[in-house]
Amino acid sequence: MKSCLDLASEFSRLACFIRSLLALGIHMPMQPGPEHPGIQQVSDHAAELDMKVAVENMVNMPAILGRRPEEVMGIIETVDRENVGFIFDVGHANTNGNVEDFLNIAPE
């Protein structure tokens, strides 16, 4: 992942999107745990490259973490990095029937 960030940083400093929450949902409890070391490591390396990282909400499939707003916000809070934020996928939220719930967590 670090080499991908290195390559991407040559083109853009805007963001790296983390969609690989499927593996987190399968290998970790469905609720955000005390740490997300993989995302923290990616975020730390991205920060060295002056890049931002965005956690994306996921589709309605079993064993995927990040389907509900509280899961996504829990990940962001526990990762606790200045360069980590959220990117909203309206199609994914629609599969979960929670578009409005995600819109309610958007900053004003």
Q: What digits encode the pLDDT tens for the residues 51-86?
A: 998 889 999 988 788 899 999 998 899 899 999 999
d(CA 47, CA 41): 10
- The encoded tokens of residue 102 equal 């995600």
For 27-60, write each residue's pLDDT tens digit.
444 444 445 678 888 899 999 999 998 889 999 9
Whole-prediction pTM: 0.78
Q: What single-letter amino acid sits at 96?
A: N
Helices (H), ranges, the chain: 2-9, 21-27, 37-48, 69-79, 90-96, 99-104
Nearest CA-CA partner of 62 in 29, 25, 99, 20: 25
